[in-house]
Structure 1
Amino acid sequence: MKQLTSIFILVLLLQSCGNPHNQEGLDAYFEGSLSKYNRHLTDVIVADIFTPPVASRIYAYSNIAAYEGVRLQNPEHRPSLGGQLNHLSQLTQPIAGQNYYYPITSLVAFTEVAKQLVYNLERIDTLQTALLRDVKKIGIDEVIYNNSVDLGKKIGQDVLARAHNDGYLKRTALPRFSVNDDPGRWRPTPPDYMEAIEPHWNTIKPFALDSASQFDPGLPTNFDIAETSQFYQEAEEVYSTVKNLNSERLEIAKFWDCNPNISTTKGHVMYFQQQISPGGHWIHITAQVLDEKKINMEDSAAALAQVSVAIADAFISCWDQKYRSSLTRPETYINKYIDPDWEPILQTPAFPEHTSGHSVASAAAATILTNIFGDNYAFDDATEVPYGLPVRSYESFNGAAQEAAISRLYGGIHYKPAIELGVSQGKEVGQHVLDKIKFVN
């Protein structure tokens, strides 16, 4: 009788422990997980219609948190960003003597941050719930599980502490952009005539830059309406480029459009089409390469954090000059001084001309990726396939960045100096991130 009772108690104990700790199954489950979760985050960002600067901030904080979670499995090799990134304090550390499974910590930290920065927090919360359910189903020691989840949530809150004090909340109390009679000053453009987007983005605290103006590219060409002036010739170049666009250049313009919210009017009805942001496009390029090369989670987290920080600082740098110069867009100038019936290929975004955000962000991201994977890494970019566009192939990241930049001329929404100076500006931002922030000891 005592033997039967002992067996019964043993069975109950085994049942209460759930599945045994399945290390191999867990490791397989987390392969490529950060690429997958960044794609899920993109889906939410697109649906929530965040502007390019705001989207870049969301990617940066989320990927910083993910890196901080998984780097702990090899802290002697992977330093913390706490104390390296501006205004990011030291983060919560594991408790000595306790066991953790850091991939869980990483994704919990990622989702804890992401759900506080998007509108549809329920979708991110659902992702986290599904993650934890899957982990338990695969099999994990209960103590390790609880330790890992708790640490991930604490790291997420540490990262969010910076987000709550980076100027994002205060910017909405600042004055709106004012439109006046200055013919060279930016003004709203067709078809929506939207107000200027994020005129105070330069007040957001940069992650690595010393200031928003650290890599100021310089002012644009002086505004002038004389047909012999340099400015008129720059506008004429945009005008003639669009008028004589071939199929290849048209495809390039559309591929790199990345306007998060395009409006279309049919009759009296207006509807909107959501797309990925330019920063999101480069996050997806990064994720695709990581998947192709089967990069482990720790190295993937470092790459995504590095790229996202560079992109976020690129937008802060770019937006600083945009609203310093507040230059009119080609569409406004051409319609008034060259051809009133002319239209660009792409819808003109609702912010000033100089410099090109695509150029700055793309060059910054390409600088990071080239440093990680090499100068001649050829890849097929399938980012735009979900949005109805074909795959495009590139011989290098810099080649893709150059195409992204010149696409703005083909699309009719930027003068050449905004593109060329934007590329230089982005390279400087990217190189500064490489020089200042250590991801490897």
Structure 2
Amino acid sequence: MNWFRTRHPVRPVLVALGSAVLLAASVSVPSAAAAVVEEQPRSSVALDWYDTTAATIAADAAPTQITNSRTWAVSWLAAARATRVVPSGVDRGDFQDAALASAVHGALVALVPSRTQELDAALRATLQGVPDGAAESKGVAAGARQARLVLAAREGDGLDPASVNAPFTLPPAAPGVWQPTPPAYAPAAQYGNRLARPFLLDSPDQYRLPAPPAPDSARYRADLAEVRAYGAVDSTVRTQRQTETATFWLGSSLTLYTEPLRVALARSPHSSAGRARLVALFHVALVDTQIATSDSKYAHLRWRPVTAIRTGSIDPDPAWTPLHTTPAHPDHPSGHNTFSGAAEAVLSALVGPRTAPFKLTSPTAPGVTRTYTTWSRLSQENVDARVYSGIHTRSADEAGLVLGERVATHALRNAARLFGTL
């Protein structure tokens, strides 16, 4: 059964759920005050701090993607919590702007202390635009408090670089079983992700994928034939456009999705509070997705195409080389595609599946600009890209989309655990 082909577009009920997550949390105010619905954004404080977060993480350059995702999640979860409840008698927008800035600032200073000077300057710039008074002072205090609380709650969660790359005991070589891949034959990476503490998943294996197609199955033979033909460094069937797709999506998923999320944030009709929840949910879902990805990878330990083609029983070719170097972890599922599937699900639920055209560039494809109008198109290209790179089977890519969507849906359905009862 091709279970990985049964993926469906995000259902309308999930889109409605996403809207409820952003809107319902915004009306929780002290009982003495009337409930206030989300207002139109009046400033760019959320965008300013989004850009500050991106610049801070880029400058720090933690060596593991999930550690960087954690920094995003912790910082913006603090902001979402700090902006959720507005005290009586203060301007709502002023309070939320000050709270958001203070929360992200406090978390980032703790997580990336080398950028304290730049972060202090950014906070001063934000507060210069907020009128002095109770709204500002209470917002700053709320943000600082939530940053401390979230940091304390996530202490020792196993998402630091050393824990993420915990040692993995290599199994004996056997057909279908992962082994280190050329040219470096590096030891397994990211095994420790599956040992980390998720934000919202009950356990890392909650959505573990079924076993991939057996190495002697017709589906696997078809997968391998496709990778052999289209993913070879010297492929004669891969087109220039397909090579460009592989190169465009080669880099870190976190880096490649920073701009699409910013596009969604900039076009969001919500205030600072709603925008903070969008960013927080996105990155919480993505941290949990990366944990679930490693769980499935190391539960199934499927070898990579380069190993199967060079040493397997299906027309072995010891000289076959993929277009791009194979990462040092198992094939099933594709981490690029679990990330993409989760991102698509969150963005579709919270801002809708379609958007006005936006342009996207890639650090691994200088000079190339692509234009998109749907989040699903990003996912479709990610599936193809990993095949054209010669580093994943299509089964692993499609299974990745399924896993990412399932984890993201779980995050959306359990958002009350992040923000309080909605």
Say whether the fold is shared (TM-score over 0.5). Answer: yes
Residue 76 of structure 2 is matched in structure 1 by: 63
Matched, 1:355 2:333: yes
With 141-150 and 52-61 compared, the bigger mean Cα shift is at 141-150
Is 1:315 aligned to 2:304, yes or no? no
Q: Report the CA distance between 1:42 and its aligned residue.
A: 4.1
Contact 1:34–1:300 (8 Å) recurs in 2: no
> Displacement, 1:283?
3.6
1:203 aligns with 2:195: yes
Q: Following the alignment from structure 1 to structure 2, what is the Cα–Cα distance between the partners of residues 293 and 147? A: 26
Q: CA deviation at 1:371?
A: 1.3
Distance in 1 separating the partners of 2:219 and 2:333: 17
When residues 237 and 139 of structure 1 are mapped into structure 2, their CA distance, relative to the original with a 3 A threshold, is: closer
* Counterpart pick for 1:37 among 40, 44, 52: 52
**CA–CA distance in structure 1, aligned partners of residues 130 and 402 of structure 2:** 50
For the residue of structure 1 that corresponds to 2:358, the secondary structure is: strand
Give the equivalent residue in structure 2 for 1:331: 306
Aligned counterparts of 2:364 and 2:229: Cα–Cα separation in 1: 32
Aligned: 1:134 with 2:149: no
The 1:202/1:433 distance shift into structure 2, 3 A limit, reads same
Match of 1:116 among 110, 113, 116: 110
Pairwise CA distance, 1:308: 1.1
Q: Does the C-alpha gap of structure 1 residues 360 and 289 become closer, same or farther in structure 2, counting only changes over 3 Å?
A: same
- In the alignment, is the contact (CA less than 8 A) between 2:82 and 2:99 conserved in 1? yes
Structure 2 residue 98 is matched with structure 1 residue 104 = yes
Q: Which consecutive residues of structure 1, in runs of 5 or more, have no partner in the other structure? A: 1-25, 74-93, 259-276
Of 234, 241, 250, the match for 2:230: 241
CA distance in 2 between partners of 1:230 and 1:395 (Å): 32
Which residue does the alignment assign to 2:13?
Answer: none
Report the CA distance shift for 1:112/1:187 in structure 2 as closer, same or farther (over 3 A): farther
Q: Distance in 1 between matches of 2:337 and 2:378?
A: 11
* Kept after mapping to 1: 8 A contact 2:228/2:390: yes
1:217 aligns to 2:209 (yes or no) = yes
Q: Distance in 1 between matches of 2:153 and 2:127?
A: 32
- The aligned counterpart of 2:381 is 403
- Greater shift, 26-35 or 398-407, is seen at 26-35
Cα distance, 1:292 vs structure 2: 4.2
Separation of aligned partners in 1, 2:396 and 2:383: 9
Q: Secondary structure at the match of 1:393?
A: strand
CA contact (8 A) 2:247 2:364 kept: no
Distance 1:43 1:294, change over 3 A: farther
Distance between the aligned counterparts of 1:215 and 1:173, measured in 2? Answer: 20
**CA distance in structure 1 between the aligned counterparts of 2:191 and 2:356, rounded to whole angstroms:** 37
Aligned length: 369
Partner secondary structure for residue 394 of structure 1: strand
Distance 2:355 2:241 in 1: 23
Q: Is the 8 A contact 2:193 2:295 kept in 1?
A: yes
The one-letter amino acid of 1:150's match is A
Pairing 1:253-272 to 2, within 5 Å after superposition? 253-258=246-251
**Among 186, 191, 216, which residue is 1:194 paired with?**
186
Question: Quick one: distance in 2 between partners of 1:170 and 1:290?
Answer: 29
Q: Which position in structure 2 is the counterpart of 1:177?
A: 168
Deviation, 1:110, is 1.4
Secondary structure of 1:382's partner? strand
Between structure 1 and structure 2, the one with the greater Rg is 1
Q: Which runs of 5+ in 2 are unaligned?
A: 1-40
Write the deviation string for residues 315-369 of structure 1: whole angstroms up to 9, x where unpaired.
1111101111122111222233432222222221121111111111111111111
SS in 2 for 1:186: coil
For 2:132 and 2:320, locate their aligned partners in 1 and report how far apart those are by CA, in whole Å: 66
CA distance in 2, matches of 1:289, 1:174: 32
Deviations 1:182-235 (A, max 9, x none): 2333222233332211212112122222221111221112335xxx86544422
Give RMSD over aligned pairs.
3.0
Deviation larger for 107-116 or 245-254: 107-116
Question: Relative to structure 1, is the Cα distance of residues 146 and 311 closer, same or farther in structure 2, using a 3 angstrom cutoff?
Answer: same
Alpha-carbon distance in 1 for matches of 2:155, 2:54: 24
TM-score for the superposition, normalised by structure 2: 0.78
> Could you tell me which amino acid in structure 1 is paired with residue 182 of structure 2?
P
Counterpart-to-counterpart distance in 1, 2:81 and 2:339: 24
Q: Distance in 1 between matches of 2:61 and 2:79?
A: 22
CA contact (8 A) 2:46 2:100 kept: no
Contact 1:344 1:411 (8 Å CA) reproduced: yes
Distance 1:149 1:130, change over 3 A: same
Calculate percent identity across the aligned residue pairs.
Answer: 27
In structure 2, which of residues 124, 143, 150 is the aligned counterpart of residue 159 of structure 1? 150
Q: Distance in 2 between matches of 1:148 and 1:309?
A: 23
| Equivalent residues of 2:42, 2:271 under 8 A apart | no
Query: What code does the residue aligned with 1:305 have?
Result: A
Q: Classify 1:137/1:399 alpha carbon distance in 2 versus 1 (closer, same or farther; 3 Å).
A: closer
